[in-house]
Amino acid sequence: MQVLYFAWVRERIGLPREEIETTAETVNDLIAELRTREARYDMAFADTTALRVALDQELSEFDAPLKGVREVAFFPPMTGG
Amino acid sequence: MIRVQAMPFDSGGELNIFSASVAGAGAVVSFTGLVRDVSGGLSSIEIEHYPGMTEKALGAIRADAMQRWDLADALIIHRFGALDVGETIMMVATASRHRKDAFEAAEFLMDYLKSRAPFWKREVTADGADWVASRAEDEDALKRW
């Protein structure tokens, strides 16, 4: 699946998107998997209360299943307007 | 109509076009957001967004407003990219036969734009650049609706 990062999440991880092969069943599982990769992922995902997630471009929850999802995006709370 | 663009726009001109297109409505309310220098020393802002999701989210927010209130039309224009102090960031406009519907729907659009549309602002000063933190009040504002 495509994993996208925005704003400071993108800066901390150091890239805007990447293709990830995973068997993670939920967003939380995916985060746990990413955190084991490298310190920059571990840091970016240290506090999920400071993060939001979108699955296929719809805001979602961290316990949501990933089955069938093609695009996951992580970002801080939005500041539009 | 929804527009997401890097290009500057003339909110007055857009409002005239919108008003002319809903001539039968009788009431038009608009809000325009400008880049402001709150603490002094701001040189510009940068707005990042999530192409694809942005248009979807704005479309859903607009559709929700059209359903909740008696509106002839609703317009949202939001910019991304680099903006100087004083530049127009975004505007919303609503048209209705009833003043109350037009006002309420415009406030609803603004409240949802703040925390449910995937935009992130970064303030650039001489000392560097910082992401703007979301405010609890903006999240609380949604409870009204």
Distance, in angstroms, between A78 CA and closest chain B CA? 5
Q: Which range among A3-7, B10-14, B49-53, B135-139 shows the weakest confidence by mean pLDDT?
A: B135-139
pLDDT for residue B74: 98
**Are B95 and B18 contacting, i.e. CB atoms less than 8 angstroms apart?**
yes
Hey, what domains does chain B have and what are their CATH numbers?
2-144 (3.90.1170.40)
Predicted-complex ipTM score? 0.95
Q: Which residues pair with A3 in a beta bridge?
A: A18, A72
For residue B111, the chain A residue with the least C-alpha distance is A81
Give residues with Cβ within 8 angstroms of B6, minimum separation 6: B79, B80, B81
B53 contacts in chain A (CB < 8 Å): 54, 57-58, 73
Nearest to B106 by CA among B79, B136, B68: B68
CA–CA separation, B94 and B64 (whole Å): 13
Distance, in angstroms, between A81 CA and closest chain B CA? 5
CA–CA separation, B110 and B29 (whole Å): 12
pLDDT for residue B39: 77
pLDDT tens digits for range B8-48: 999 999 999 999 999 889 999 999 999 998 778 898 999 99
Phi-psi bin for B72: left (phi > 0), alpha (psi -120 to 50), beta?
alpha
What secondary structure does DSSP assign to B87-134, as a single string? -EEEEEEEEESSHHHHHHHHHHHHHHHHHHS-EEEEEEETTEEEEPPP
Give the three-class secondary structure for B47: strand
pLDDT for residue B84: 95
The distance from CA B144 to its chain's CA centroid, rounded to whole angstroms, is 18
pLDDT for residue B38: 78
> Token pair of B57, please?
């989210």
Hey, what domains does chain A have and what are their CATH numbers?
2-75 (3.10.20.30)
